[in-house]
Amino acid sequence: MSPPIDARRLGKRFRRDWALRDCTLTIPEGAIVGLAGPNAAGKSTLLALAAGLLAPSEGAIDVLGHDPLREPSVLAEVGYVAQGAPLYRSFTIEETIEFARRTNSRWDEELVACLPTRIGSRTKVGSLSAGDRARLALGLALGKRPRLVLLDEPFAGLDPLAGREFLQLLMDGVAETAATVVIASHVIADIERVCDHIVLLTGGGVRLEGGVEELLESHRILMGPRRPLGSIRGVTSIVRERYSGRQLTLLVRGDGPILDPSWTVERVGLEELLLAYMAPERMPVPAPPEGLPLRWHG
């Protein structure tokens, strides 16, 4: 079966600026993907390209095995909710659902039935709270019985309770449809609870990608006395180094146990891991404090 999203050297330029460049990635079927990254990293651009709303400047993207621009019929199986859950404000909930029912070839009444029931269906969309509007937009996307759901910053402007309700509706929809989901969010805590796959974008490119469990398993935090950094057994790369006084703290990617007993080894949480990869470059090495007999070379 074709992967839900398959991008090859994908790039998008707006005038002279590249919003996304040289992006190659494959989203596995059935994954719940956290699309993370700072603002302006290219998250919205990638989702809009997948939703067939933008044309690539270079490279290609296939969605469920089809080019979304040349074969837009594939979009019947893609539920996309743009940032801020835009809907017709003057429509009532009832009218909004009716509109979606008539404009979609696939429509599942049962999936829409779980929509805001505590508010009257004659309420105008414009007077809904941010949380109810987000859930309505999600319900419309799920009503298509999509195989792929794309959500752009769905938690922006939602309070914690509304955010939790949104996730419950989304996860219930996933349990029912087995859809693949991509959630773009710059707040990692919002997506940590559900995502099992991470794509981290920085500066328009893929910085880190993989299954959450594998990523957490292959990274460790090492703490120990300050020392010159050579190669460390079990470590393949150093993601971040931090110095404080005589203490050195490393976030490393490894391929085996750290046997050197002078390191205290700890597991790393998803948020800390992604923040470390988001930091532009390695922290500069400050001069050692005076009075410390440290040799940095040789």
Partner 1 sequence: MIEFHLDPRSGVATYLQIVQQVKEALRLGTISVGDQLPTVREVVADLAINPNTVAKAYRDLEREGLVVARQGRGTFVASTLARATSLPHYEVLRVELEHWLEAADGAGLDEESIRALISATVREMLARRVA
Binding site for partner 1 (CB under 8 A): 30, 32, 164, 167-168, 171-172, 174-176, 192-196, 213, 267, 269
Nearer to partner 1, 191 or 208 (CB): 191
Give ∠ CA 225-229-234 in degrees, rounded to 5: 90
**Residue 171 C-beta: closest distance to partner 1, Å:** 4
**Residue 174 C-beta: closest distance to partner 1, Å:** 6
Q: How far is CA 106 from CA 43, 50, 109, in A?
A: 28, 19, 10
| Torsion on CA atoms 198, 239, 220, 232, rounded to nearest 10 | 140
Nearer to partner 1, 193 or 233 (CB): 193
**Residue 269 C-beta: closest distance to partner 1, Å:** 7
Nearer to partner 1, 32 or 48 (CB): 32
Token pair for residue 50? 């997948």
Token pair for residue 146? 């999509």
Nearer to partner 1, 32 or 201 (CB): 32
CB-based contact 43:37 (threshold 8 Å): yes
Q: How far apart are CA 59 and CA 67, in angstroms?
A: 12
Q: How far apart are CA 106 and CA 101, in angstroms?
A: 8
CB-based contact 250:262 (threshold 8 Å): no
- Of 90, 155, 94, 99, nearest to 125 (Cα)? 90
**Residue 256 C-beta: closest distance to partner 1, Å:** 19
Nearer to partner 1, 94 or 213 (CB): 213
Nearer to partner 1, 108 or 196 (CB): 196
**Residue 164 C-beta: closest distance to partner 1, Å:** 6
CB-based contact 177:106 (threshold 8 Å): no
**Residue 172 C-beta: closest distance to partner 1, Å:** 5
State the angle between helix axes of 130-143 and 160-177 in degrees (0 to 180), rounded to the nearest 10: 10
Nearer to partner 1, 210 or 225 (CB): 210
First to last CA, the chain: 55
Kindly report the length of the chain: 298
CB-based contact 270:212 (threshold 8 Å): yes
Nearer to partner 1, 20 or 179 (CB): 179
**Residue 200 C-beta: closest distance to partner 1, Å:** 19
The type of residue at 125 is V
**Residue 213 C-beta: closest distance to partner 1, Å:** 7
